[in-house]
């Protein structure tokens, strides 16, 4: 490295500096020319004006060995994600395609992998923080690069180095790691309160000013013990005068609970956007009741046969209903379609990708089973179990959550009987399935209510009934279309042998 000095001043200063550069660029310069340059002496009055000079360095290493690994665009117009889990920490060595972290968008969970070989120098986010697409995610010290890269500074002797900031592990027993703002810490010092003794009610246990005030106002063990004293018995005269005053029960001691505010983000933020858009669409609801008695008996026989074969297979009613829905959609293809945002085109989908609404820890998700029209009831059950396991673990992929053409919401699994489902755009129809209940219903096959004999009453029987509610986009779907679809689905469920024939 060779140090040069650039001066600012009048014309004489610039001519002197230009002369030194011409000497350096000369082709006839020999190896000893560098010593000539070093021995070159500027005028004394120029050298004395050192305050007008600014030094700079010329380094062979022009770029820093630490690269910023930015969060790339993961598609679907997603601009921000939530960091769910870090697979690395500061100081870890990573290779290309090694997992760095897992992020969650409003559509799915995505695993971010490294594009470089090197060492993790800095993490920009904590768990549950919101990361922005295009912004730095981590800093990586490239493999084989110098640990302390030389960068230009105002003086030739100072080398700047960026120290990576590690994400500290919070320790509730450490004062330095207590989550509190400087203002809260100052207030705690004024009130002579140790932050270790205060239970924070803010996000992630953050200590708020209200927590300090409540802690200060509540009596401590020492105060309560000091205030307890032995009260001498009242004199006979006092006791006689106070005996006529009725004793009032004291008000029960209660503690005011602190409110908690949580930001709406991730999947719940997507629900806000989706439901707001869906409720702008004029849609209607059609309700009916299905007799599930035959399907209940068929499922019992199905389960018993597998027990005899010592096969551990658990199948619910939902795979039968999903298969019946696909068969009914064959004669009502408009219900298996998408409509564009301006409602100018209706795209009838060839595949029956039936979505199932799931209640997960992160919010409402609707993964879908692809190509139900080509699957058997058992294959549908296996795929449904796979999606349910991923949903509980928060590992549903973007492919599982996109591409749906028709949706079902099994509210009966939780205990609901009736529901009015909301459309999942751009789909045009959705159904809500209530719980199966045993109820007394008239026997329509032996209905004698039309007889003139008043002593004859219609025969009754106990059946397993399920209420169903359908919602549809009234801009493109009419009530008659939905009624015909529901009637066909009702026939298939009440006669489940047809499901096995058409597998």
**Model pLDDT for residues 187-219, shown as the tens digit of each residue:** 787 777 888 788 888 777 778 877 887 887 765
Nearest to 358 by CA among 400, 312, 303, 417: 400
* pLDDT at 485 exceeding the cut of 90: yes
User: Do 107 and 27 reside in the same domain of the chain?
Assistant: no
Which is more confidently placed, 275 or 34?
275
Catalytic pick from 38, 147, 478, 502? 478
In-domain check, residue 438: yes
Percent of the chain predicted with pLDDT > 70: 69
* pLDDT at 296 exceeding the cut of 70: yes
Distances (CA, A) of 448 to 247, 461, 463: 72, 14, 19
User: Do 423 and 358 reside in the same domain of the chain?
Assistant: yes
User: Do 411 and 474 reside in the same domain of the chain?
Assistant: yes
**What does the pLDDT look like over 156-186, one tens digit per residue?**
333 333 334 443 444 434 344 567 776 777 7
In-domain check, residue 311: yes
The arithmetic mean of pLDDT across residues 476-493, rounded, is 95
User: Do 284 and 402 reside in the same domain of the chain?
Assistant: yes
Distances (CA, A) of 322 to 224, 232, 379: 65, 80, 11
Helices (H), 309-369: 318-329
* pLDDT at 309 exceeding the cut of 80: no
Calpha distance 391→367 (Å, rounded)? 8
In-domain check, residue 211: no
- 434: confidence class by pLDDT, cuts 50, 70, 90: very high
For the question of whether the overall pTM of this predicted structure is more than 0.85, the answer is: no
> What are the residues whose beta carbons fall under 8 Å from the beta carbon of 449, sequence distance 6 or more?
442, 456, 457, 458
Residue 214, pLDDT score: 80
In-domain check, residue 183: no
Final residue belonging to a domain, choices 83, 116, 142: 142
User: Do 461 and 392 reside in the same domain of the chain?
Assistant: yes
For residue 446, the domain's CATH number is: 3.30.559.10
The arithmetic mean of pLDDT across residues 236-252, rounded, is 58
For residue 87, the domain's CATH number is: 2.40.50.100
The arithmetic mean of pLDDT across residues 222-237, rounded, is 48
User: Do 122 and 12 reside in the same domain of the chain?
Assistant: no
State CA 360 to chain mean position distance.
11
Percent of the chain predicted with pLDDT > 90: 32
478 is catalytic: yes
Helices 377-393 & 318-329, crossing angle to 10 degrees? 120
User: Do 369 and 474 reside in the same domain of the chain?
Assistant: yes
Final residue belonging to a domain, choices 118, 142, 166: 142
**What does the pLDDT look like over 121-138, one tens digit per residue?**
999 998 888 888 889 999
Cβ-based neighbour number of residue 407 at 10 Å:
22
In-domain check, residue 173: no
In-domain check, residue 75: yes
DSSP 180: B
User: Do 292 and 407 reside in the same domain of the chain?
Assistant: yes
Residue 30, pLDDT score: 43
Query: Three-state SS for 122?
Result: strand
Q: Which residues pair with 338 in a beta bridge?
A: 347, 427
User: Do 26 and 127 reside in the same domain of the chain?
Assistant: no
User: Do 83 and 13 reside in the same domain of the chain?
Assistant: no
Q: Which residue range(s) make up the domain with 395? A: 267-501
User: Do 358 and 497 reside in the same domain of the chain?
Assistant: yes
Calpha distance 370→400 (Å, rounded)? 8
User: Do 371 and 321 reside in the same domain of the chain?
Assistant: yes
In-domain check, residue 353: yes
In-domain check, residue 259: no
What's the domain count of the chain?
A: 3
- 145: confidence class by pLDDT, cuts 50, 70, 90: low
Which is more confidently placed, 293 or 188?
293
Catalytic pick from 288, 306, 338, 474? 474
């Amino acid at each position: 490295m060779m140090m040069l000095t650039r001066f600012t001043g009048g014309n004489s200063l610039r001519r002197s500096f230009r002369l030194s550069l011409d000497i350096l660029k000369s082709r006839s310069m020999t190896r000893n020319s560098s010593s000539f340059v070093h021995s070159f002496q500027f005028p004394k009055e120029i050298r004395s004006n050192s305050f007008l000079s600014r030094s700079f360095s010329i380094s062979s290493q022009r770029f820093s060995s630490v690269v910023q690994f930015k969060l790339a665009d993961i598609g679907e117009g997603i601009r921000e994600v939530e960091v769910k889990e870090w697979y690395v920490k500061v100081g870890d060595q990573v290779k290309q395609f090694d997992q760095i972290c897992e992020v969650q968008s409003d559509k799915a969970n995505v695993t971010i992998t490294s594009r470089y070989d090197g060492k993790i120098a800095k993490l920009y986010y904590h768990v549950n923080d919101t990361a922005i697409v295009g912004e730095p995610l981590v800093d990586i010290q490239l493999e084989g690069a110098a640990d302390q890269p030389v960068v230009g500074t105002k003086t030739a002797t100072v080398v700047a180095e960026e120290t990576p900031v590690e994400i500290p592990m919070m320790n509730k027993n450490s004062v330095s790691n207590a989550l509190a703002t400087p203002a809260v810490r100052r207030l705690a010092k004024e009130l002579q309160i140790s932050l270790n003794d205060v239970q924070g009610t803010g996000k992630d246990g953050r200590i708020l000013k209200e927590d300090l005030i409540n802690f200060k106002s509540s009596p401590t063990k020492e105060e309560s013990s000091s205030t307890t004293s032995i009260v001498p018995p009242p004199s006979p005269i006092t006791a006689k005068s106070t005996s006529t005053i009725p004793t009032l029960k004291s008000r029960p001691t209660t503690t005011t609970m602190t409110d908690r505010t949580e930001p709406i983000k991730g999947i719940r933020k997507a629900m806000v956007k989706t439901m707001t858009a869906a409720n702008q669409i004029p849609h209607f609801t059609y309700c009916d009741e299905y007799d599930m008695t035959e399907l209940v008996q068929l499922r019992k026989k199905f389960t018993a046969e597998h027990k005899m074969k010592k096969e551990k297979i658990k199948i619910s009613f939902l795979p039968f209903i999903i298969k019946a829905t696909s068969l009914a959609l064959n004669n009502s293809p408009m219900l298996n379609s998408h409509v564009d945002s301006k409602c100018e085109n209706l795209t009838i989908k060839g595949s029956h990708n039936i979505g199932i609404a799931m209640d997960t820890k992160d919010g409402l998700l609707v993964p879908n089973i692809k190509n139900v029209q080509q699957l058997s009831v058992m294959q549908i059950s296996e795929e449904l179990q796979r999606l349910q396991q991923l949903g509980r673990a928060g590992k549903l992929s973007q492919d599982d959550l996109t591409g749906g053409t028709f949706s079902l919401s099994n509210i009966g699994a939780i205990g609901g009987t009736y529901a009015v489902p909301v459309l999942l755009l751009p789909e045009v129809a959705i159904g809500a399935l209530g719980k199966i209940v045993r109820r007394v219903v008239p026997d329509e096959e032996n209905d004698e209510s039309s007889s003139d004999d008043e002593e004859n009453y219609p025969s009754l029987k106990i059946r397993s009934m399920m209420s169903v509610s359908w919602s549809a986009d009234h801009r493109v779907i009419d009530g008659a279309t939905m009624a015909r679809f529901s009637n066909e689905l009702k026939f298939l469920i009440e006669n489940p042998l047809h499901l096995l024939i058409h597998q």
